[in-house]
Copies of this chain bind each other. A is one copy, B any other.
Amino acid sequence: MTRQKIAVLGGTGKEGSGLALRWAAAGFDVTIGSRELAKAQLAAAELYTAVGQDSVHGMTNRDAAAQADIVVMSVPYAAHTCTLESVRDVVQGKVFVDVTVPLDPANVRRVKLPAAGSAAIEAQQLLGQAVRVVAAFQNISAEHLKSLDHEIECDVLVCGNDKDAKMQVIELAQAAHMQAWDAGPIENAVVVEGLTSVLINLNIKHKVKAAGIRITGIPRP
């Protein structure tokens, strides 16, 4: 298998840069995407410094998506629709991983669902059925990702309608030292997106930075 090319749209943000760091360290060809080329290139240079891999690039979101095998998107919900529209034609047929959480700026601790049910369903509707949309990584605090020697004490719940695409994402999670589970069809992404508000609640109430979840009752691989 040739080395997979991963694009991380919104890869200059905390969550996106953390995922990019983990995958670059695992040896993937990683391209950080941003609305602004200069910001993407700066983040890519920082990532290169951190991991010493020459397979790190910075591009606009659209160019990053166009050259990638797997496209991961981690943007604020306010930028969700416009980012999807900007890459729609260049992600057809690809695995598209939506990390977006539709947090309500008025109260991030309270679940507020988009009209379609979840950000992931919105993505599937906007990109079309030929795009293999997978929802994942929404519960992994950026705190967990930023340091490579930190053990990530949170499982990844992976939702989507394409089993092979979900398997690829589970392998991506494992490569980044996370335990991931097939959590069912894309309709189930509402649970995973909403769980982020529950975890934010717990973070605030218990004065921690990275509350998470573990699946129990199943032998861990």
Q: Which A residues fall within an 8 A CB radius of B?
A: 109-113, 117, 141, 153-154, 157, 181-185, 187-188, 190-192, 194-195, 197-198, 201-202, 205-206, 208-218
Within the complex, the shortest CB–CB distance from A116 to chain B, in Å, comes to 11
Q: Does A198 lie within 8 Å of B184, measured CB to CB?
A: yes
**Residue from B182, B201, B214 within 8 A of A214 (CB atoms):** B214
Q: Does B188 lie within 8 Å of A191, measured CB to CB?
A: no
Q: Does B213 lie within 8 Å of A216, measured CB to CB?
A: yes
Q: Does B201 lie within 8 Å of A182, measured CB to CB?
A: yes
Contact partners of A202 in chain B: CB under 8 A: 181-183, 215, 217-218
Q: Does A111 lie within 8 Å of B213, measured CB to CB?
A: no
Q: Does A117 lie within 8 Å of B113, measured CB to CB?
A: yes
- Of all A-B residue pairs in the complex, the 10 with the closest CB atoms, nearest first, are A191-B194, A184-B201, A211-B217, A212-B216, A153-B216, A206-B218, A183-B198, A214-B214, A210-B217, A111-B188
Instruction: Quickly give the copy total for this chain.
Output: 2
Within the complex, the shortest CB–CB distance from A73 to chain B, in Å, comes to 22
Q: Does B188 lie within 8 Å of A201, measured CB to CB?
A: yes
Contact partners of A185 in chain B: CB under 8 A: 109-110
Contact partners of A213 in chain B: CB under 8 A: 213-216
Contact partners of A211 in chain B: CB under 8 A: 215-218
Contact partners of A184 in chain B: CB under 8 A: 109-111, 197-198, 201
